Amino acid sequence: MLKIPYVDQKSAMTRLGQMVYYIPALPEYPSSHPLSERETLLFLHGFGGGSSAYEWSKVFPAFAGDYRVIAPDLIGWGDSAHLDRNYTIDDYLNSIADFITATCDEPVTVVASALTAALVIRIAIAQPTLFKSLVLMTPAGLSDFGNDYTRSPFAQIVSTPILDKLLYSGVIATPFGIRNFLENRQFADPSRISNDIVEAYLTSAQKPNAEYTALSFVRGDLCFDLADYIAQLTTPTALLWGETASFTGPELGRKLAQKNPTAIKLFEVIKSTGLTPQLELPAVTIGMIQTSLKVLAQEG
């Protein structure tokens, strides 16, 4: 089990297997109204070597007094089911939708990150009744506006059979590999990377069969052009963007927001952060999410 403090662990079944999810442990987070009367706030982590619900663990407890908060490990990550095969985009479109249906009785507000946030947009287009609103952190399909990620040198290297798994076990899923990924991909300031963050990512990355989903991601099997979809979104949405997010900077976010000003009610840049402000500056991120929820409530 991942070491996420002050949470209870539960699970829900999807067509791809069991998804573990975390809820703030009661009575650690008292509320003025019963849990059954609160709206659900669902936190979904992004993709990367060792990703898991831990990504949101420094943020979601702040909302536990007002919402029913849940944060799952996606299929292939953390403590959820790990399939012994490569993954497809449809695997995540289906399993995320299955999880929402299994755990949420009413339209839900989702807070999601990176590629997962882009996948949530596609789910919301196909099944809009599942959602009340979206707060999306740096959503990108990683092949946006015609940029084909699969042509990148790293994607080409990890597409080589046998070599891909050797790279994963010997380079990616190691303390050095995890820290290097966090420093170069996710954080604007490497000094903010604590040992507990590295440990959580490493624990997830070393789960049996964890290489399949990680390699599907880095090969580009899960990438797509979000610009082809975002104009179809009707769910009220706020976009939050790490100022120095590598490969997917704020200019990409502005271009995406401009394609659908009707649904996208707010676009804000979180200064001095990279791809995961929720880990890098959690207090600031909490404030930005609270602001986003207020804006979306007013629009609704």
| pLDDT at 31 (0 to 100) | 58
Exposed (0-12), middle (13-18) or buried (19+): which is 12, by Cβ within 10 Å?
middle
Which of 117, 144, 103 is closest to 55 using CA atoms?
A: 117
Q: What pLDDT score was predicted for residue 102? A: 97
0.85 surpassed by pTM = yes
pLDDT of residue 259: 97
Query: What distance in Å separates the CA atoms of residue 17 and residue 75, rounded to the nearest whole number?
Result: 7
pLDDT given at position 158: 65
Using a 10 angstrom Cβ sphere, with 0-12 exposed, 13-18 middle and 19 or more buried, the burial of residue 284 is middle
Q: Which residues pair with 19 in a beta bridge?
A: 12
Q: Tell me what pLDDT residue 247 has.
A: 82
Tokens in use for 208?
């049996």
Domains (range + CATH), the chain: 7-299 (3.40.50.1820)
Look at residue 208 in the predicted model and tell me its pLDDT: 95
pLDDT of residue 6: 67
Tell me the C-alpha distance between 204 and 194, whole Å.
16
pLDDT of the chain along its 300 residues, tens only?
466 766 899 999 999 999 999 999 865 455 566 777 789 999 999 998 899 999 999 999 999 999 999 999 999 999 999 999 999 999 999 999 999 999 999 999 999 999 999 999 999 999 999 999 999 999 999 999 988 766 676 666 666 666 678 888 888 899 999 999 999 889 999 999 999 999 999 999 999 999 999 989 988 899 999 999 999 999 999 999 999 998 899 999 999 999 999 999 999 999 999 999 999 999 999 999 999 999 999 876
What is the reported pLDDT for 16?
97
